[in-house]
A and B are shown apart, each in its own frame.
Chain A
Amino acid sequence: MATKINPKFKDELKKYGAVNMSACYNCGTCTAVCSLSSTEESFPREMIRLSALGIENEIKSSLKPWECYYCGECTNSCPQTANPGELMMSLRRWLTSKYDWTGLSSLLYRSFPATIAALILVLAGTLFFACSRDFNLEEMLHYGHRFEIIAISTVFLVIFVPNLLRMWYFTIVKPKVRTPLKRYFSTSGELFVHMFTQKRYKDCEENTHFRWFEHMILVFAYLSLLFTTVFLNWFATYNLFFIILGYVESLLIFAITFDFVGSRIKKSRTLNKFSQPSDWLFVTWLLLMGITAFLVRLFIDLNLTESVRWVYLIHLIVLAQWALIIVPFGKWTHFLYRSFAMYFSQLKTQSKEPVSESAQ
């Protein structure tokens, strides 16, 4: 089958944040300095070439954009300042919108006004709901908690499961990677290891692992706060241990995202030099989630009943925008796609090896 090229692909990619990609003169410095690139999986130059030519099918079936953790070495060393790191980032955004069956990711990534409109829509919806309940704290808390559970399960079933299946189809089924079913089980450990430790990120920096550590703590704090609020019902619990746990988690989220926002403002790290709206939204909303959750519980504990209502309303708005926009259609999804990419990539590598003796 002939390879289909899209000469306008690089213009398309610009909308997803690619910068100066056409300057690349194919020296391979980026690939050679990349500490995550290996003989089996060499990138990012290959991805730049595919993007420059617009070979969309190959990009769609590639897991390499997810194997990049944006250490920034490539961008720092690129003799043409073609910014390979940011290209990989924009490919991840592009892939996210290709995996998304609703097409909303694509719309939100490319259009800032659409993102604003969506945020306002959710804000209005939440206010309308609160208004209809007369801003009654008891009811808001009750429905807020119920909303969390419903949102999580709906987003998971309606958005994430089909999207992950699409990702699987694009990267495994379509490129005809043949893997026996039992390997899907035997390799699944890989999925969870990467999901919860992001251990690949650790290989990024040669001297300090601070960034990886910071990021991992954030993931843990976020997931456990989610668990604490949803399953341990943090805002309503009387269990002292759970209360303190929630405080620690929300504070951690606040502290780390504060640092992330700061470095995006200061552009102190290579990966922070070109922030897209989706990046800002992700860190800022996470920061707001942390701080508002903390304040809600603090006001409850201080018996500031009147204030709790308004702080909780703010928290609910932030939460709704987070759960309905950023999680399903925004940057949050990298949590899933990255770990699944590592899992699929492992399957791909294994499919090249002969099936083990037990199959005989």
Chain B
Amino acid sequence: MWLWFHKLSSPPHAFRTAGRLRPWFFWPAVLLIAIGTFGGLVLAPEDYQQKDAFRILYVHVPSASLSLMVYVAMAVGAAIGLIWRMKLAHAFAAACAPIGAWFTVLTLATGSIYGKPMWGTWWEWDPRLTSELILLFLYLGYMALRASFDDTQRADRASAILAIVGVVNVPIVKYSVVWWNSLHQGPSISKLSAPSIHGSMLWPLLVMMLGFVLYFAAVMCDRIRSEILRRERNASWLSEIDAET
């Protein structure tokens, strides 16, 4: 029953599997993002209050939820790697960090582009923006710690501990920032939260969300393949792979 699990931890097998899965993630992702973009930018009706500016949410919301999801996935991967000493889980966690950091940057960028016409300012010390910024710092710290070790195994285990400490801290940061802000300036919290969203606006968002998740999976396949290549650069199975492709 656990055979597939053990097989997955073998680098050559994982390398091939990731290569085989990649098109199955990538092309549906392209299709879904195309449908979602068309649905969001053309088909969805204009918001009666925010006009066309609300349409940036079709990029903003999926990247915001992925920025958090990827962090949790990274911490889970790091924990699996630390507990069962699975090198591949560490490779997964290492590959997560840059993708997640980019989703966070994208969230912040789209958020401030949205904020300019809506709130009249590029940056607002809104709890969501602030906690997203702190999340970016956590990603950057994780990557900085990885980069400072020459030995991959050490980098894996040290950064795994940081990822786990970070994931315990994320809810604390989140709630402390919300609480900090609610004392400062009450009404701004509800600025972003739409009371309800109409079906014609909702479906492109869901399609986009799914497209982003598949896109993450496709990029992950690429990244984990290059991560495996980097770690196994002296292994003999690489020459066989070379002959195959």
State whether these chains interact. no
Which residues of B does A touch, CB under 8 Å? none
